[in-house]
Amino acid sequence: MKVLWFSGDSEAQIKDMPTPKPASGQVLIRMKAAGLCGSDLHGIYERPRKEIEGRRQWIPGHEPAGVVEALGSGVGELAIGDPVLVDNTVGCGECKLCRMGWYNLCVGPREKRGFYGFGLDGCFADYMVAEDRNCIKKPDWLSFEVGAHLTCGGGTVYSALKRLNITTDDTALAIGLGPVGLGGVALMKAWKARVIAVDMTEERVKLAKTLGADETIDASKENVLDRVKELTGGNGVEVAVDFSGSPIGRNNCIDSAGLFGRVAFVGERNPTTIDPSRQLLGKRITIYSSRVYGYHELMELLEFMKRHELHLEKMITHRFPLEKGPDALKLFQTTQTGKIIFTWP
């Protein structure tokens, strides 16, 4: 099978590797769509080669959607030919949190948990092996392409926003309009909030408009805090979510929030300094942290999208065959795109 292999130092290549075989409780999936995520860039692709060489490597990619090709022994309800989405976090399946659907918070033995594309072979290949309990049957109304996005970016957004209890009375601020933030804009609008979307890239600011943003701020040209103050009559927003992972973005969320504001941090990577006395206490702000999602929330998200007739195809700006993976990664690094998806016939 063909595999998109990351070599470090922002280089990638196509390799031939043997097609894996599913073990007990696993299925082999023939890929139909796989999403590129920012963590693919920052977590592996851009890492110095010296940090990768000499260590065990794995096939990257953690946003999989495809068709069941083969079954290992002991597989439950899945059958060959079933279209599936794959929850990207593997839990032990036995601890209390796994039984509640929180595979991403598993506290079982380390050797029984992992993450596709990071430690476990992922989906940037013609085939991947997945635990049958991680697979959700894809509904007919959902495309493989959007389904792939849901298995990381979409699910992560839903999990964070659900905790914020967004209502039609809220003005919601979305900072950072990569694929995760763009999905956040669409979901905020599904909850009927007034949405203000912020980014430093003109193309992504325009794309947020097509996904329902009521107001947009180009942070390369405008002062975010001044503009939010202007748009809210000086009151600040009820909800603010940082999808950028940047210290500036996180602080802008806190400072843009009004009295009793609810703030969520979704973007990863950079340490951030916050002054509780100056920024939090006087406004009674609540800050939520959120990383990935629970398996049950992915099922909830499918029902949410159907009920609200939510279509996310607009956020997909580029589609590539896997063989063009090196070109797709270079393009994604420019930040001039929405969602990039690898597709198979």
What pLDDT, on a 0 to 100 scale, did the predictor assign at position 93?
A: 92
| Secondary structure (H, E, C), 23-71 | CCCEEEEEEEEEECCHHHHHHHHCCCHHHHCCCCCCCCCCCEEEEEEEE
Name all domains of the chain by residue range, CATH numbers in brackets.
Answer: 2-138+312-343 (3.90.180.10), 157-289 (3.40.50.720)
Residue 110 neighbours by CB distance under 10 Å: 9
Query: Residue range 150-175: average pLDDT?
Result: 96
**How far is residue 170's CA from residue 283's CA, in Å, rounded to a whole number?**
16
Query: Residue range 39-49: average pLDDT?
Result: 89
Query: Residue range 210-215: average pLDDT?
Result: 96
Amino acid at the residue 152: C
pLDDT higher than threshold 90 for residue 57: no
For residue 292, give the 3-state DSSP assignment: coil
Instruction: Give the pLDDT band (50/70/90) at residue 268.
Output: confident
pLDDT single digits (tens) 8-31: 899 999 999 999 999 999 999 999
For residue 344 the two structure tokens come to 């198979």
pLDDT higher than threshold 90 for residue 52: no
Helix residue spans in 195-268 (DSSP H): 202-210, 224-231, 247-256
Integer CA distances (angstroms), 324 to 6, 293, 304, 316, in order = 13, 30, 34, 17
Its sign, for the CA torsion 184, 185, 191, 193, is: positive
Query: Residue range 29-35: average pLDDT?
Result: 98
pLDDT higher than threshold 90 for residue 37: yes
What pLDDT, on a 0 to 100 scale, did the predictor assign at position 138?
A: 98
Amino acid at the residue 167: T
What pLDDT, on a 0 to 100 scale, did the predictor assign at position 62?
A: 97
The values of phi and psi at residue 8, to 5°, are 85, 170
pLDDT higher than threshold 80 for residue 183: yes
pLDDT above 70: percentage of residues in the chain = 99
| Strands 114-116 and 89-90, bridge-based pairing | antiparallel
What pLDDT, on a 0 to 100 scale, did the predictor assign at position 54?
A: 65
Query: Residue range 277-282: average pLDDT?
Result: 90
What pLDDT, on a 0 to 100 scale, did the predictor assign at position 228?
A: 98
What pLDDT, on a 0 to 100 scale, did the predictor assign at position 42?
A: 87
CB distance 41 to 333 below 8 Å: yes
Quote helix, strand, coil % in the chain, to nearest 5: 35, 30, 35
Amino acid at the residue 217: I
What pLDDT, on a 0 to 100 scale, did the predictor assign at position 50?
A: 84
pLDDT single digits (tens) 67-98: 999 999 999 899 999 999 999 999 999 999 99
Residue with tokens 């009004």: 258
pLDDT higher than threshold 90 for residue 297: yes
Instruction: Give the pLDDT band (50/70/90) at residue 59.
Output: very high
